[in-house]
Amino acid sequence: MEFTIEAIETPALTKAQLADLLFEQIGLNKREAKDMVEAFFELVAQRLIEGEDVKISGFGNFQIRIKAPRPGRNPRTGELIPIGARRVATFHASAKLKEQIHGLPSEEGASADE
């Protein structure tokens, strides 16, 4: 099944637009489509909060990384300010997604050393 997004006019894809695509192209009713999109993102967020990686085949991996404390600086005043340790979410695109972005033909079954 292939989705088309030509009707999207904004530079960003929103959750509302995803729900509209599910409604138009799959046939879910609007409430089901909205609930499905919300449930998906809630599940991804909850897993990341719990410290688990989220891997979506053919798309990429979301991970939580712990950044160490470091010295920082107020750019306006130049004053040194400590930046505390924190958790950040990172995303790494899959090789398949990177190929699609760069417009390279997908060579299924080909290994990296060929």
Encode pLDDT of 80-89 as tens digits: 999 999 999 9
State if pTM tops 0.85: no
The distance of Cα 81 from the centroid of its chain, to the nearest Å, equals 31
Nearest to 94 by CA among 59, 68, 66: 59
Residue 10: CA count within 13 A, CB half-sphere: 7
* pLDDT value of residue 6: 58
* pLDDT value of residue 55: 97
* pLDDT value of residue 108: 53
Who's near 33: CB < 8 A, 6+ residues apart? 18, 19, 20, 22, 23, 26
Q: What digits encode the pLDDT tens for the residues 3-57? A: 555 555 667 889 999 999 999 998 889 999 999 999 999 999 999 999 999 999 9
* pLDDT value of residue 107: 54
Q: What's the CA gap between 41 and 33, in Å, rounded?
A: 13
86-93 and 54-56: which strand pairing? unpaired
CB atoms within 10 A of CB 19: 20
pLDDT at residue 111 is higher than 50: no
What domains can be seen in the chain, in order of their start residue?
Answer: 12-52 (4.10.520.10), 53-105 (4.10.520.10)
* pLDDT value of residue 1: 53
Q: What's the CA gap between 24 and 77, in Å, rounded?
A: 52
Q: Where are the alpha helices (DSSP H) in 26-78?
A: 30-49
Percentage of residues in the chain having pLDDT higher than 90: 75
Find out whether 69 and 85 touch, Cβ atoms under 8 Å: yes
